[in-house]
């Protein structure tokens, strides 16, 4: 008997039939004697539908009102799931984020959880009820509804598990675990029995949307046992774990992540003087645009090229800002490309192995794929390439690092 927080994603609650199937599953866990807090997402497609409605009215929806709108999707599924449970004789009670009192900061659309009041949930659990909580939402100190960013129900689940000191946080989704890469892109992708928090944080931040990055950070910080499982089939799923003592036994590369959401901007022929990077990037950050990769070339004739990437949604704005900067710093030219993609290999084993980058570059060059930018950290190597080669690159790397083979064969 355990206290479990279980989260069911959009596809898992995408129709009334699927909600009924989740209710059957929850009932079985309850009958096995577990205490349960269930977090649900909106029905699949619903959050996107709400976003398009807002955008029909205004291109940049007012952040506060946007969150009032977006949070409604999850309110529908908590009520429907509770009804399905009650129909089955399982006592259950639904809560919006505000009703629990999941308090966040006031950064609408990407709020961060600051505190969780566990009183109502504990009282319900004590009384033998299943608690059903709306994912992705909270409330700020002033009582405004906030949302936690796309995929934010994962973070709600982990945060509740941390607050309640749950025995495990289980993320039920439409795949049966975390794979070596997105199984929808590479059909030989293999489910991992476990992956370290560190690797999962990198995978999530480099584009693997199977878990929202904040949820993994939270789980790592508060030591929440976290598991990804399928809503539709039985199986052990993938456990997100602390790093194994014996690093030499870790596979060199555990997974491949990719991201189509970036755009690249270059300001060329910038006079190479102290403070120039600041003069370029400060206006970008003042426009609230996040920069990902940055490369400054070695200068020639006292001029240098400066390239960086931003989220594709910020591409137009970043280009406008950069064109103004170019005039200010007397640069020769601004170039840009929003048809790029970033591919990354991730693995804690890289720390203790040499030659990983060479193997990556060789695999890409054999396919004739040109690398436009490179960035590395201790446990990942990322490259920017032409978007049209993305799937080819992921497949080539998956096979070069033999990720289709079971781990002990590496």
Between residues 151 and 347, which has the closer beta carbon with respect to ligand ADP? 151
CB 249 within 8 A of CB 391: no
Residue 41: partners with Cβ closer than 8 Å, 6 or more residues away: 7, 8, 9, 10, 12, 13, 47, 73, 74, 77, 135, 136, 153
Stretch binding ligand ADP (CB under 6 A), from 76-84, 171-179, 274-282, 340-348: 171-179
Tell me the H-state helices in 291-355: 315-328
Q: Which of 6, 11, 12, 41 binds ligand ASP (CB under 6 A)?
A: 41
Site string for ligand ADP, 38-57 (x = CB under 6 A): ---x----------------
The answer to whether 47 contacts ligand ASP (rule: CB under 6 A) is: yes
Stretch that binds ligand ASP, among 29-37, 41-49, 94-102, 382-390 (CB under 6 A): 41-49
Taking the complex as a whole, the smallest distance from the CB of residue 39 to ligand ADP amounts, in Å, to 11
- Using the rule CB under 5 A, give the single segment among 1-9, 90-98, 271-279, 358-366 that binds Mg ion: 1-9
- Which residue lies nearer to Mg ion by CB, 9 or 255? 9
Q: Does 175 bind ligand ADP (CB under 6 A)?
A: yes
**For residue 288, is it left (φ>0), alpha (ψ between -120 and 50) or beta?**
left
Contact with Mg ion (CB under 5 A) among 61, 151, 152, 251? 151
Burial 192-214 (b: 16+ CB within 10 A, else e): bebbbbbbbbbbbbbbbebbbbb
Task: Say whether 118 sits in a helix, a strand or coil.
Answer: coil
Residue nearest to Mg ion (CB): 151
10 Å CB burial of residue 63 (0-12, 13-18, 19+) is: middle
Q: Out of 14, 61, 152, 255, which residue is the one contacting ligand ASP (CB under 6 A)? A: 152
Q: Residue 86, Cβ neighbours under 10 Å: how many? A: 14
Query: Measured from the CB atom, is 149 or 183 closer to ligand ADP?
Result: 183
Number of residues engaging Mg ion in binding (CB under 5 A): 2
User: Could you say whether residue 10 binds ligand ADP (CB under 6 A)?
Assistant: yes
Collapsing DSSP to helix, strand or coil, 181 comes out as coil
Q: Which is nearer to ligand ADP, 41 or 94 (CB)?
A: 41
Which residue in the set 29, 95, 108, 136 belongs to the binding site for ligand ASP (CB under 6 A)?
Answer: 136
Shortest Cβ 195–ligand ADP spacing (Å): 9
Question: Is the sign of the CA dihedral 50, 53, 58, 62 positive or negative?
Answer: negative
Give me the least distance between CB of 20 and Mg ion, in Å please: 21
Closest distance to Mg ion from the beta carbon of 154 (Å) = 6
- Residues 293, 310: Cα–Cα separation, whole Å: 8
179 Cβ neighbours under 8 A, 6+ residues apart: 189, 190, 191, 192, 210, 255
156 binds ligand ADP (CB under 6 A): no
Q: Residue 151 interacts with ligand ASP (CB under 6 A)?
A: yes
Distance CA 175, CA 193 (A): 13
- Give the distance from CA 129 to its chain's centroid: 31
Q: How many CB atoms lie within 10 A of CB 354?
A: 8
Binding site for ligand ASP (CB under 6 A): 9-10, 41-42, 47, 73, 135-136, 150-154
């Amino acid at each position: 008997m355990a206290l479990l927080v279980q989260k069911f994603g959009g596809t898992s609650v995408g129709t009334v039939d699927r909600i009924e199937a989740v209710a059957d599953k929850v009932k079985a866990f309850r009958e096995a004697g577990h205490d349960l807090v269930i977090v649900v997402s909106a029905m699949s497609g619903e959050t996107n539908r709400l976003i398009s409605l807002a955008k029909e009215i205004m291109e940049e929806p007012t952040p506060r009102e946007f969150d009032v709108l977006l949070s409604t999707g999850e309110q529908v599924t908590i009520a429907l799931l509770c009804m399905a449970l009650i129909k089955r004789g399982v006592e259950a009670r639904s809560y919006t984020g505000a009703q629990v009192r999941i308090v966040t900061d006031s950064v609408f659309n990407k709020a961060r959880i600051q505190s969780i009041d566990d009183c109502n949930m504990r009282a319900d659990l004590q009384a033998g009820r299943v608690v059903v909580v709306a994912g992705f939402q909270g409330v700020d100190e002033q009582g405004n509804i906030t949302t936690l960013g796309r995929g934010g129900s994962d973070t709600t689940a982990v945060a509740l598990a941390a607050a309640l000191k749950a025995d495990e946080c289980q993320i039920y989704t439409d795949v049966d675990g975390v794979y070596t890469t997105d199984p929808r892109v590479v059909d030989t992708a293999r489910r991992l029995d476990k992956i370290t928090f560190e690797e999962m944080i990198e995978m999530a931040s480099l584009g693997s949307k199977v878990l929202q990055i904040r949820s993994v950070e939270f789980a790592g910080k508060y030591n929440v046992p976290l598991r990804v499982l399928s809503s539709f089939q039985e199986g052990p799923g993938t456990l997100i774990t602390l790093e194994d003592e014996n690093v030499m036994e870790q596979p060199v590369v555990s997974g491949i992540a990719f991201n189509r959401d970036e755009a690249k901007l270059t300001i060329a022929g910038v006079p190479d003087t102290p403070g120039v990077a600041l003069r370029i990037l400060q206006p970008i950050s003042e426009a609230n645009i996040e920069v990902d990769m940055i490369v400054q070339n070695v200068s020639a004739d006292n001029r240098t090229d400066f390239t960086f990437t931003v989220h594709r949604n910020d591409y137009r704005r970043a280009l406008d800002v950069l064109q103004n900067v170019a005039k200010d710093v007397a640069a020769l030219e601004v170039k840009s490309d929003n048809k790029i993609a970033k591919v990354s290999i991730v693995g804690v084993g890289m720390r203790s192995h040499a030659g990983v980058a060479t193997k990556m570059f060789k695999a890409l060059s054999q396919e004739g794929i040109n690398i436009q930018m490179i960035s590395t950290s201790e446990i990942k190597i990322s490259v920017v390439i032409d978007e049209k080669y993305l799937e080819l690159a992921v497949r080539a790397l998956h096979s070069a690092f033999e990720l289709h083979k079971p781990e002990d064969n590496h």
